[in-house]
Structure 1
């Protein structure tokens, strides 16, 4: 066989081996690092009720629409007039890749180009908000009662995830909502294999001094620490 061809095949084998090693290392990290806890002894009583909610893939953080610390209706509802209903008690916040959020309403709509952009820092991000009258606890929705100070830290974290215009208003992504009570906004940071929607939610819990894991790209890493 031609020496140059053998050399080329050797490079290809090493490249494929390197890729397999990287994939294996990533999968191992995804399995093990989420088991490492942080904030293992949070304050167990407080004045503010929040929720962690997963749809099986993506994690949202639910907070009160309005209390003495923060009135989210001043920031969010001005762009979505049908949500100015006084019976709305909670607002859910989620962060993610804009392509996934806006162009992939169902998994069957996922394009290879959208997935590639999201995985390798090539896309942009968005915040998604949705308003609720009530929230019910279940296996994928955990209730937390946190202190005012911890809630202030959570509010700060969420606010810093949005992009703002010169007037310090959040940047609404017009006419791309799923329904009457949700909206999308331009966000900071870039989605990747190492910083996903669930990483954002896990970091929100860290910011609020609540139980979380050291790092996770998936929702199971978060809920593992709330399973008992």
Structure 2
């Protein structure tokens, strides 16, 4: 048994070292968007915030009338979009088991961790947030032109799995509290394509250049700093 334990430990170390090497190599390689939009005009930009913790990123969309209208289905699912304190809608994509079952680290289970390293169905998590400036810790401010912003919204919209009637398919009974909901999403979650690579793909749809592979938030942010001059500090 000890021999098997040592072998598994060595295999785990080798896998971690290999993935770290691949991530660092991918960081230096730019991945350009399919469409490069013109830079935003002064005073006419659309500001999006990128929220990052050590393992996950969310995209915070401003709660402007057009954005609230696009996400009006949230009101039908019980979220108070008309609350004057709502300043943004946060959108994140991730693995169903880990995302829905782990609101805090103490809630982490072996099953959820296993799914995150192998394969899992994906979900979208939408939550209401207050108005933020982008200067708060853990936030990055992105300035987009109107066409780039609309392309980002279309990508997010296309990420929902929909019911036969065309509405985003909610996961009933799953939320962290009264101001968030989970929805079925398109695509599968695995070790190579996770929440942060989805965020990077969304940003490329908005015309930004990222690193070739961005499995963790620091790699995503470093790639933007390195390859994309439009990111504002």
- Answer whether TM exceeds 0.5 for this pair: yes
Deviation of 1:125 after TM superposition, in Å, equals 1.3
- Pick the aligned partner of 1:37 from 30, 39, 48: 30
Give the equivalent residue in structure 2 for 1:135: 132
Distance in 2 (CA, whole Å) between partners of 1:91 and 1:53 is: 12
1:129-160 Cα offsets, whole Å, 9 max, x none, are 11123113235211122111111211111011
SS across alignment from 1:33: helix
State how many pairs are aligned: 216
Does residue 21 of structure 2 align to residue 28 of structure 1? yes
Deviation of 1:18 after TM superposition, in Å, equals 7.5
Aligned counterparts, 1:102-141, within 5 A: 102-121=100-119, 123-137=120-134, 138-141=136-139
TM-score when scaled to structure 2? Answer: 0.80
1:10-31 Cα offsets, whole Å, 9 max, x none, are xxx8x99887655432221122
Higher mean displacement: 123-132 or 42-51: 42-51
CA contact (8 A) 2:61 2:67 kept: no
Deviation of 1:45 after TM superposition, in Å, equals 2.1
1:56-110 Cα offsets, whole Å, 9 max, x none, are 3210011123444772332322102434324423101000011111111222222
Does residue 204 of structure 2 align to residue 206 of structure 1? yes
CA contact (8 A) 2:74 2:81 kept: no
CA contact (8 A) 2:127 2:180 kept: yes
Bigger Rg, structure 1 or 2: 1
Aligned counterparts, 1:54-203, within 5 A: 54-68=52-66, 71-121=69-119, 123-137=120-134, 138-203=136-201
Distance in 1 (CA, whole Å) between partners of 2:30 and 2:82 is: 39
Alignment CA distance shift 1:16-1:164 (3 Å): same
Tell me the C-alpha RMSD between the 2 structures: 2.8
Alignment CA distance shift 1:43-1:142 (3 Å): farther
Deviation of 1:182 after TM superposition, in Å, equals 1.1
Distance in 2 (CA, whole Å) between partners of 1:56 and 1:24 is: 19
Distance in 2 (CA, whole Å) between partners of 1:134 and 1:195 is: 30
Alignment CA distance shift 1:19-1:115 (3 Å): closer
CA contact (8 A) 2:79 2:180 kept: no
